[in-house]
Amino acid sequence: MNASSKDPRRSPRSKVLLAATVECAGEALPVLLRDLSEYGALLEIARALELDSEVLFRRNELCARGYVAWVRDNLAGVCFTRPLKPEVVLRHIKRPKPREQADGAQYRRPALTRPGMSLEERRWAEEVLREPLRRSR
């Protein structure tokens, strides 16, 4: 089974949670952008949009014409008239910044299989691995 048989969509979706607006029938409506792809967007909106109505989607400098492809409860799928270039889609998806600890060190999860574990990580892993043995006695 290949990836295309699992998801028949034309392009991958990027999950996001961003504020945007949709202009429909001369009115600008605030929406939450839930996912974005080359061909469309999933929007969360307070007021229902009309199926097949023309819209103008805006997120910062991104502006795309499209139409409402489907509506379910407070969600709507917008299909863009012209596909966005992948680099345009990626420009709106920010990579998460690494978390830092209070002392300024970067936060890392301990890895049991990664080479180069620190001494502290190795000590912690050994303690965790021995813990079930102590409880079973």
Q: How many domains does the chain have?
A: 2
Q: Is residue 96 part of a domain?
A: no
**What's the pLDDT score for residue 48?**
80
The CA radius of gyration of the chain, in Å to the nearest whole number, is 23
pLDDT at 14: 72
**Statement to judge: residues 84 and 126 lie in one domain:** no
Q: Are residues 11 and 78 in the same domain?
A: yes
Q: How many angstroms separate the CA atoms of 29 and 20, rounded?
A: 9
Residues 118 and 66 in one domain: no
- The pLDDT assigned to 134 comes to 53
Q: 87 and 133 in one domain?
A: no
The one-letter code for the residue type at 1 is M
- Full domain range(s) for residue 121: 109-137
- Same domain for 12 and 68, yes or no, is yes
Distance, in Å, from the CA atom of 126 to the CA atom of 114, rounded to the nearest integer, reads 14
Mean pLDDT by 10 residues, the chain (137 residues): 46 79 92 90 90 92 92 93 80 60 62 69 79 56
Residues 72 and 118 in one domain: no
pLDDT score recorded for residue 64:
93
CATH number for the domain including 87? 2.40.10.220
Residue appearing with tokens 């709507």 = 76
User: What pLDDT is attached to residue 1?
Assistant: 36
- Are 86 and 125 contained in the same domain? no
Query: Does any domain span residue 33?
Result: yes
From CA 135, how far away is CA 67, in angstroms rounded?
Answer: 61
Check whether residue 19 and residue 77 sit in a common domain.
Answer: yes
